[in-house]
Amino acid sequence: MKLRFFSLLAICLATFSSGMASADGGGHKQVMPDENIIGISLLASIVAYFMISKVSKFSLNNEDKLAFSLVVFTFVVHAILGIDDLKLLAGAAGFLAFGVAFFVMEIPFVEKSKTMFSYLLIIYTLAIIIFYLYQHPDLTKNGSYDSVGILTKISEIGIIALTLRKLN
């Protein structure tokens, strides 16, 4: 129980103490280096993969754990960058809600309509990807490739693929 509490506390502190992050270079705030955002998100994702079976109400296989860790990666990136951008924070809230509903808690109305909510997750994730590509059609930010954005989109494509696989 103590390990679970300290792991969750470490993830929360790492995510919310990074007030220097900005989505598109900000201007008025110093930007957290992409490597830090990727590192924090990757660490949270790895911890989530190994800890989800301890907190989940479901019996999860390895694909479910992988899908959850991708959701956590995407959530953490959006939460860090969302400190300075409300659209990204809304994206983080959506991935948090889907992650909890699909992998952590048994919510009766979600369980009754699991297929519909799976399609909703796919549509939501596709909308996030499309919005990103609209904002960054050449996949760059400030003249160089947006490594955080590209890795997050790869993670989101993984979420879609694993959700589709679960549906079939």
99, 11 contact by CB (below 8 A): no
| pLDDT for position 30 | 41
Q: Are 71 and 49 in contact (CB under 8 A)?
A: no
| Closest C-alpha to 38, from 4, 76, 6 | 76
What's residue 10's pLDDT?
Answer: 54
Say what the pTM is: 0.81
Q: Per the domain annotation, does 24 fall within a domain?
A: no
Is 17 within the bounds of a domain? no
Please give the residue range of the domain that contains residue 147: 2-6+32-167
* Pairing of the two strands 140-141 and 144-145: antiparallel
86 located within any domain? yes
**What are the 10-residue block averages of pLDDT along the chain, 168 residues in total?**
54 50 41 87 95 90 95 95 89 94 91 94 96 89 87 96 93
- 5: which 2 tokens? 């509490």
Residue 53, in any domain of the structure: yes
What is the total count of domains within the chain?
Answer: 1
